[in-house]
Each structure stands twice: as structure tokens, then as C-alpha cells.
Amino acid sequence: MLVGNKFDLTIVDANSVSAGNQINKVIAEVSRIENLISDWIPSSQISNVNINAGIWPVKVDPEVFQLTKRAVMISGLTKQPNGEDWKIGITNPFRTNKLIVTVPLNEGAVTTSGNYEKYIKLNGKRYSHIINPVTGYPATGLCSATVVGPDAEFANGLSTSIIVLGKEAGLKLISNYPAFSAILITDNGKVYKSDRMKSKRLK
């Protein structure tokens, strides 16, 4: 696995030794690129840019700068042509081919944690992959928690934490962070949202 993907390499060469050398060159090049741009590697140039965003400028290699320029250009082609907010659909945990609410988003991140995709059923009861560290058992009470905010990493941490905490404590937690809002769906299908959440309930 490199840059978060599986690579299948096919080399046609005169012999296995030469082919092996070519494969090693390919792996080395992909690794070099990964160490430049991966946001999962703390020492990468992209991670350094993200850490210092809005604080001070960061010097990067020309290829990283040009890649970023192309990414910004493509991003501009896609935010919304008419300037309206994007409509982000939240899956109905009980009918996963349907949406239960939509959330308007202009800039920021939306993350959802839930038990409706990764779970097992034992004796008719669903057990989530999200474990409550207090009990040591899968979290119960909420089957979905969606968090909207300016930071994807923190939003993801909040959504998973809310699944563990449950509705009351989860809503109390999100109220401590004014830039973030949440939609919670209980195990029996009731929908709750934090005070700052803007959403549209679908039929």
C-alpha cells in the first residue's frame, strides 16, 4: 500500500534481476511522492502546510506548489457554479439507499459515524464496530452521528465520540464548540440536531 492505494506493477524486461530493479525504482518514486504530499505523514510538506495554515508561509518544492495550483483550479471548477451551498445528503440508517436529511455546506467538512455499515447481528441485536471504552461493549443508543464544521479531523473525532456518549451527552459536547453542529439519529429512528445545525428533513 502506497499513498493509500494498492499498486499492481507489471514490468517487461530481459531478465528477473533487471525487472526487479525497475520495480524498485517505481516503488521508490511513489514513496518519494507520498512523503511529499501525504497528509497522513506528519513530516510531509503538505502536512507542514496544513499545520501552519494561517500562521506563516511554508516553503515547498516546485512540484508540490504546481500540484496545489492545479488542485485549486479543479476545486474552483467544482464548490457551486451558481454560488449556492452544496446539499450534503445524510444516509437513512434504516434504508441505506435513501437519505434522511440534507445539510447545506459552503465551506468545511461533514463527517458521519454510525453502526449501520460495520456491524454484526447476534440474536436479532445489532452490535457496532464502535466500542464504548467504559463498558468494553459496542456503543448503543445512537445509530448515526453527523458533525459539520471547519476541520474534518476534529469533526470526525466528535462524531465518533458522540456515538459513544449518546444523545444527551453528545448534544452537550457539541454545544461547547460553536463552529460545529450535529445531527443525531437514535436506534429507534428519532432525529435530533444541535441548535446551530441547519438541515432539511426528507420524507
What are 111-163's pLDDT values in tens digits? 999 887 777 777 877 777 888 888 888 888 898 999 999 888 899 999 999 99
Residue-by-residue DSSP string for 90-116? EEETTEEEEEEEEEEESSSEEEEEESS
Q: Where are the domains of the chain?
A: 16-78, 86-201
Place of cell 443508543: 141
pLDDT of 58 strictly over 70: yes
Q: Which fold has domain 86-201?
A: T-fold (3.10.520)
Beta strands 142-149 and 181-186 are antiparallel
Distance (Å, rounded) from C-alpha 97 to C-alpha 91?
Answer: 7
Check: pTM over 0.95? Answer yes or no: no
Place of cell 507489471: 10
Distance (Å, rounded) from C-alpha 179 to C-alpha 111?
Answer: 14
C-alpha 93: how far from chain center? 18
pLDDT of 6 strictly over 90: no
- C-beta of residue 152 within 8 angstroms of C-beta of residue 179: no
Q: What pLDDT score does 200 carry?
A: 62
